[in-house]
Amino acid sequence: MAVIYDRVALIGLGLIAGSMSLAMRRDGLAKEVVGYARSAETRATAREIGLVDRVCDSLADAVKDADLVVLAVPVGAMGAVAEEMAPFLKPGATVSDVGSVKGAVIVAVGPHIPEGVDFIPAHPLAGTEHSGPRSGFAELFENRWTILVPGEAGPEAVAKLRALWEGMGANVDEMDADHHDLVLAVTSHTPHLIAYTMVGVADDLRRVTDSEVIKYSAAGFRDFTRIAASDPTMWRDVFLNNKEATLEILGRFTEELFALQRAIRTGDGDHLHAYFTRTRAIRRGIIEAGQDTSAPNFGRVPEKKS
Ligand code: NAP
């Protein structure tokens, strides 16, 4: 594949940055991928496993001469990192990020981006519950969506960033930050909160039932525990920075939960059946769109029904 950027700087060397580096280097999308992380420990690990072409010991060193700088740190840390790196950015460079929230990142990072540098926030909808420099893998973005929020950025810069994500295997969409944050509150942020809650409830219960919850946990609960094992810093920052949309969706969720609770109490089987029929159809839609890695047809274009 053709080289898209001469030098890409990854700031933060965890799951997402590591996966980007491995994918870019596998496919020759950048001549050089450099990386920086705040802790000496992470930088040493990145060097040891050859995660990027070159590990830099300072933020300034990493971003100077980079054509693309990608912030891959927790959402709450993005503003401070942007402020510190801003004086060293190359004119004509593009700054992007991979944060799970877009509105708050734009508010925190945007004011630090100098004239002549394009800022294109991005969010790959791909991840695992693992974190750190050893957790990345080149296939993470394959057949996943990456959302770009181009704002005022130049069309050429947007086209290059789109080509990079497509080169790493992702499908790319563009939307505005508010819409992104609402969509993600529904599809990712609130479900994570529910998983955290359910695992917390079960943990309380375990004290009563002497580990039966773990012993008899079937796939449903085990999936919750996997989601609830996600990085606490990242998810704290997601909720603190996508407050409005998450609270909106949580409000609706609570209303629906009360309706189901009432149906159970009053023995309204029709309500329950109709509700579960509707949700089952949604699940089928996700599988048909090829967006469930656990489904047998993951990654395949669905056959047309005759
Ligand atoms: P990660 O594996 O935990 O790595 C985070 C990196 O950020 C580490 O290199 C860490 O440095 C650095 N960092 C942490 N706190 C920092 C601070 N206060 N200042 C400067 N650097 C700091 O995280 P990740 O999963 O790659 O997530 C990175 C970003 O991608 C987040 O914004 C997250 O919202 C977004 N994202 C995550 C997922 C997912 O499923 N994980 C999916 C899509 C988007 P040290 O190692 O030196 O501490």
What domains sit in the chain, N to C, each tagged with a CATH number? 5-175 (3.40.50.720), 179-288 (1.10.3660.10)
pLDDT tops 70 at residue 229: yes
pLDDT in tens, 113-134: 999 999 999 999 999 999 999 9
Residue 295 reports pLDDT greater than 80:
no
Max Cα separation, the chain? 67
Query: Could you give the CA distance from residue 191 to residue 68 in angstroms, rounded to a whole number?
Result: 32
Structure tokens at 106: 């734009």
Q: Which has more pLDDT, 225 or 90? A: 90
Does the pLDDT value for residue 81 go beyond 50? yes
- pTM for the whole structure: 0.91
For the CA of 125, the closest atom of ligand 1 is: 43
What is the residue with the minimal CA distance to atom 48 of ligand 1?
39
**Continuous segment of H or E residues that includes residue 258:** helix 243-266
* Model confidence at 185: pLDDT above 70: yes
- Is the CB of 73 within 6 Å of ligand 1? yes
Reported as a single tens digit per residue, the pLDDT across 254-291 is: 999 999 999 999 999 999 999 999 999 988 888 888 77
What spacing in Å lies between the alpha carbon of 68 and ligand 1's midpoint?
18
70 Cα to the center of ligand 1, angstroms: 12
**Given this model, what pLDDT does residue 216 score?**
75
Provide the pLDDT confidence category of residue 207 given band limits of 50, 70 and 90. Answer: low
Mean pLDDT of the chain: 92
How far is ligand 1, taken at its centre, from the CA of residue 131, in Å?
8
